[in-house]
């Protein structure tokens, strides 16, 4: 049995040697396999294959592909390292534009990363839009959005304006006004922040204890009256503070909603980066 197994192994050697002689593991075929993995979105294995080929044949396009793999995987620091080494290569402008995209994902708005120079007009336009998007991401305001909208093509402007033209979403609620309203009328501050259920509940509960306090004072049950007075004051103090927090939460929810829609818009436009520089797959 062992002899048969050993003879079988020996019979495999010629085929293995022939396969190697035929170029099964040549750099060209490994790169083709890496390209296949990249298009199949198996970016980790694709990066490993590109690195294996690059170790024997140093090549800017291979380094660029490795950076793309890390970018697709969300390994932004590794991608940045690869692209930064290509700044002065034939792929320098593509690398700078992709580094700008990484800066957006990392919320990195420093001047050095957001104002690179480009000779290619398409890349220059994309970089200006993306640099503007990075600044907007730090704080979304109508003024910042208008500045970006003015840079867009007509078709993009239509999509953009449909998302951000609703004026109601820009009406922030003042936390101090909400607290003041609730101090005057229990629950009014929460109703002001569109938290209607809590506002009505606060009005009923505080009003009920206030009435019980008044009724007991009128009946000369002072001990119970003061207990109800303290309870009403406690609930109203909580209601005032709760109204202040409710206004802050309202504003945060609006900001998050705007951020999500802004991200969705940018993603639909591929963050203004031409898709062909991120690896083409048939």
Domain of residue 58, CATH code: 1.25.40.10
282 has a pLDDT exceeding 70 = no
Give the pLDDT confidence score for residue 102 in this predicted structure: 92
Q: What's the pLDDT tens digit per position in 222-245?
A: 888 788 788 888 888 888 898 899
Beta-carbon count within 10 A of 244 CB: 20
Looking at the fold, whether 193 and 150 belong to one and the same domain comes out as: no
Comparing 17 with 250, which gets the higher pLDDT?
250
Looking at the fold, whether 155 and 215 belong to one and the same domain comes out as: no
Q: For residue 136, tell me if it sits in a domain.
A: yes
Those residues whose C-beta lies under 8 Å from the C-beta of residue 62, and which sit 6 or more positions away, are: 31, 50, 53, 54
DSSP alpha helices (H): ranges in the chain?
2-21, 27-39, 43-56, 60-73, 76-84, 92-105, 111-114, 121-138, 142-149, 154-164, 175-184, 188-192, 196-218, 222-268
**Of 167-171, 183-187, 188-192, 200-204, minimum mean pLDDT range:** 167-171
Looking at the fold, whether 56 and 162 belong to one and the same domain comes out as: yes
Q: What CA dihedral angle connects 260, 264, 270 and 273, to 10 degrees?
A: -40
Looking at the fold, whether 181 and 196 belong to one and the same domain comes out as: yes
Total domains present in the chain? 2
Q: For residue 15, tell me if it sits in a domain.
A: no
Looking at the fold, whether 56 and 160 belong to one and the same domain comes out as: yes
Looking at the fold, whether 152 and 109 belong to one and the same domain comes out as: yes
The candidate with the shortest Cα–Cα distance to 244, out of 199, 203, 190, 196, is: 190
Rounded to whole angstroms, the maximal C-alpha distance in the chain is: 110
133 sits in the region (left: phi over 0; alpha: psi -120 to 50; else beta) called alpha
Looking at the fold, whether 51 and 133 belong to one and the same domain comes out as: yes
The chain-wide mean pLDDT, for the chain, equals 81
Looking at the fold, whether 241 and 125 belong to one and the same domain comes out as: no
Q: For residue 256, tell me if it sits in a domain.
A: no
Question: Sign (positive/negative) of CA torsion 58, 62, 66, 67?
Answer: positive
Q: What's the pLDDT tens digit per position in 120-137?
A: 888 898 888 888 888 888
Q: For residue 16, tell me if it sits in a domain.
A: no
Domain of 219 in residue numbering reads as 175-247
CA–CA separation, 51 vs 257, rounded Å? 41
Looking at the fold, whether 67 and 155 belong to one and the same domain comes out as: yes
Q: What's the pLDDT tens digit per position in 86-123?
A: 988 889 999 999 999 998 888 765 544 445 678 888 88
Looking at the fold, whether 88 and 131 belong to one and the same domain comes out as: yes
Q: What's the pLDDT tens digit per position in 145-157?
A: 777 888 888 888 8
CA–CA separation, 162 vs 14, rounded Å? 67
Q: For residue 273, tell me if it sits in a domain.
A: yes
66 has a pLDDT exceeding 90 = yes
Q: For residue 254, tell me if it sits in a domain.
A: no
Q: For residue 116, tell me if it sits in a domain.
A: yes
Give the pLDDT confidence score for residue 9 in this predicted structure: 40
Looking at the fold, whether 200 and 129 belong to one and the same domain comes out as: no
Q: For residue 186, tell me if it sits in a domain.
A: yes
261 has a pLDDT exceeding 80 = yes
Looking at the fold, whether 184 and 99 belong to one and the same domain comes out as: no
């Amino acid at each position: 049995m062992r002899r048969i197994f050993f003879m079988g192994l020996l019979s495999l050697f010629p085929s293995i040697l022939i396969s190697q002689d035929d170029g099964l593991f040549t750099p060209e075929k490994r790169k083709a396999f890496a390209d296949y993995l990249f298009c199949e979105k198996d970016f980790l294995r694709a990066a490993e294959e590109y690195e294996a080929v690059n170790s024997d044949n140093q090549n800017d396009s291979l380094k660029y592909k490795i950076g793309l793999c890390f970018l697709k995987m969300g390994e932004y620091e590794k991608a940045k390292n690869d692209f930064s080494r290509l700044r002065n290569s034939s792929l320098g402008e593509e690398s700078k534009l992709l580094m700008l995209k990484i800066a957006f994902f990392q919320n990195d708005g420093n001047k050095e990363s957001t104002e690179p120079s480009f000779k290619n007009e398409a890349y220059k336009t994309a970089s200006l839009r993306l640099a503007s998007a990075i600044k907007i991401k730090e704080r979304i305001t109508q003024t910042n959005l208008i500045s970006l909208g003015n840079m867009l093509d007509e078709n993009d402007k239509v999509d953009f304006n449909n998302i951000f033209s609703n004026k109601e979403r820009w009406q922030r609620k003042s936390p101090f006004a909400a607290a003041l309203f609730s101090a005057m009328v229990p629950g009014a501050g929460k109703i002001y922040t569109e938290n209607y259920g809590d506002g009505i509940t606060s009005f009923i509960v505080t009003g009920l204890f206030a009435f019980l306090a008044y009724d007991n004072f009128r009946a000369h049950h002072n001990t119970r009256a003061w207990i109800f007075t303290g309870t009403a004051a406690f609930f109203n103090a909580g209601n005032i503070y709760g109204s202040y927090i409710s206004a802050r939460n309202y504003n945060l929810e609006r900001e998050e909603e705007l951020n999500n829609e802004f991200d969705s818009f940018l993603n639909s436009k591929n963050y203004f980066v031409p898709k062909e520089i991120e690896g083409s797959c048939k």
